[in-house]
Structure 1
Amino acid sequence: MSVADNLRYFENQLQGTRARLVAVTKTHPVERLQEAYDAGARLFGENKVQEMVAKQPELPADIEWHLIGHLQTNKVKYIAPFVHTIQSVDSLKLLQEIEKQAAKHTRVIECLLQFHVAEEETKSGLSLAEAEEMLQSDAYQAMRHVRVTGVMGIATNTTDEAQLRREFAELRGYFELLQTRYFAQQPAFREISMGMSSDYQLALAEGSTLIRVGSAIFGARNYGTVES
């Protein structure tokens, strides 16, 4: 099936839900991304700053770029001029750097707080206590160029559907708690980014509003052509 056919399939899957599709474009060439754009895709997710910076000028300006991989503070400046959403905020230090760089460009960058819900210790993310400490801090309260719009999480790499459901439900619980305590008067706090090619249906059932799908749209990734 073509990229366009795959996109149509996922858009049909999302009918009747409030979820949107983030086309994960890591390692795929600009030509494939243009195919997706021509088929109607507008939300593109990249894992690496270097790749996003290289591709962004080659593609239409109305693409909504989401950084979904781990982000080092010293690389925020490269994407600050154009990135729409940073889904992987896992520290106050990072959020402060996003604020600083967004201010330089007179922009507001949307951010999701990444929670650690998986069993694998290698996956990064906040605990609930860390997220609350961040949101209660004077530093966060003073920010004017970041807008926290929801939460993100990466589930365990497993075929155990019961475990995946538990982890997705845990993330939804964090979202609901933060919404009640900190964002009750802020309708922009609305996103739960969870679910990928292999588990998106379970994530949708647990309330995902952003599913991140790459290989099921673009095919297998070619890591041999991309610098790390």
Structure 2
Amino acid sequence: MSAGNPGQVATALKSVLERVDSAAQRSGRNSQPRLVAISKTKPVEAIQEAYDSGHRIFGENYVQEIVDKAPKLPDDIRWHFVGHLQSNKAKTLLDGVPNLALLETVDTEKLANKLDSTLQQLGRAPLPVLVQVNTSGEESKYGVEPSECTALARHISDRCSHLRFAGLMTIGQPDYSSRPENFQCLEACRDEVCKELGLSPADVELSMGMSGDFEQAIEMGSTNVRVGSTIFGARDYSKKQ
């Protein structure tokens, strides 16, 4: 699948949305999971095609890439940042993407504090964030240990007035595909966070599931799935930034 083939992205997106809807129906849930179209390494034209077909939620993994793309696309796009974020790049991201809707990868108090202070300096409204949890225990993955997610969620809720704790996120194992135990682990983390912070599970999102397993993730409770190559085609990793 290539961005140069008109209509192919829109057709693939429609198919994925139908699969999301079917998985939600099988799970018996009332609410519709959110589909984040992950457009890393893909040209603005491919994102515009998905936008023109009605989609509004897109995600990027690299700061420079989202900062480059966002100004070239409609400002009603709700961008998600789903890659590892270094605290020294927080201002670049927040300043460059005023329509950032959700940051899915907060994994340290240092990053939370930096985001909080930067948003305050910019005069921005509180930004919803997810705590990234390393459910697979792999050293190559970012995220807090499952036993530490409640403490970070509490720090965000209690100490970061310009952030809004919105839920939990995991990548899982192996890369870009998760096993059921990763989903089960994240769900258990949500239960613990809700218990300790006095929250309802309905108010704590679970971002889990990607191209290879988003239907299974939805059936296991995901409220936010991140699908890239199934929509946009194979990525060109030579463009990694």
TM-score normalised by structure 2 residue count? 0.85
Q: What secondary structure does 2:21 align onto?
A: coil
Change (3 A) 1:211 1:60: same
1:173 aligns with 2:188: yes
Aligned to 1:151: 168
Aligned to 1:4: 10
Q: Deviations over 1:50-104 (max 9, x none)?
A: 0000000000001111110100001010121422211011001000011011112
Q: Does the aligned pair in 1 maintain the 2:153–2:193 contact within 8 Å?
A: no
Q: Deviations over 1:187-215 (max 9, x none)?
A: 6x331100010111221111011110000
Amino acid at match of 1:154: I
Give the share of equivalent positions with the same residue, in percent.
37
Change (3 A) 1:51 1:15: same
1:184 aligns with 2:199: yes
Distance 1:23 1:13 in 2: 14
Q: Does the aligned pair in 1 maintain the 2:103–2:128 contact within 8 Å?
A: yes
Amino acid at match of 1:127: E
Distance 2:88 2:149 in 1: 22
Q: Deviations over 1:142-165 (max 9, x none)?
A: 321100100000110179x9x811
Distance 2:191 2:217 in 1: 15
Gaps of 5+ in 2: 2-7, 25-31
Deviation at 1:15, TM superposition (A): 1.8
Amino acid at match of 1:99: D
2:142 maps to which of 96, 99, 124: 124
Amino acid at match of 1:11: L
Distance 1:103 1:158 in 2: 35
1:99 aligns with 2:113: no
Change (3 A) 1:186 1:166: closer
Aligned to 1:35: 49
Q: What secondary structure does 1:32 align onto?
A: helix
Deviation at 1:41, TM superposition (A): 1.4
Q: What secondary structure does 1:80 align onto?
A: helix
Distance 1:27 1:49 in 2: 12
Aligned to 2:29: none
Change (3 A) 1:26 1:60: same
Change (3 A) 1:33 1:183: farther
Amino acid at match of 1:217: I
1:50 aligns with 2:49: no
Gaps of 5+ in 1: none
Which region of structure 1 is more displaced relative to structure 2, 76-85 or 178-187?
178-187
Aligned to 1:15: 21
Deviation at 1:185, TM superposition (A): 6.4
Distance 2:118 2:146 in 1: 26
Change (3 A) 1:186 1:197: closer
Q: What secondary structure does 1:95 align onto?
A: helix
2:207 maps to which of 177, 193, 216: 193
- Please tell me the root mean square deviation across aligned C-alpha atoms, in Å: 2.2
Q: Alignment length, in residue pairs?
A: 223
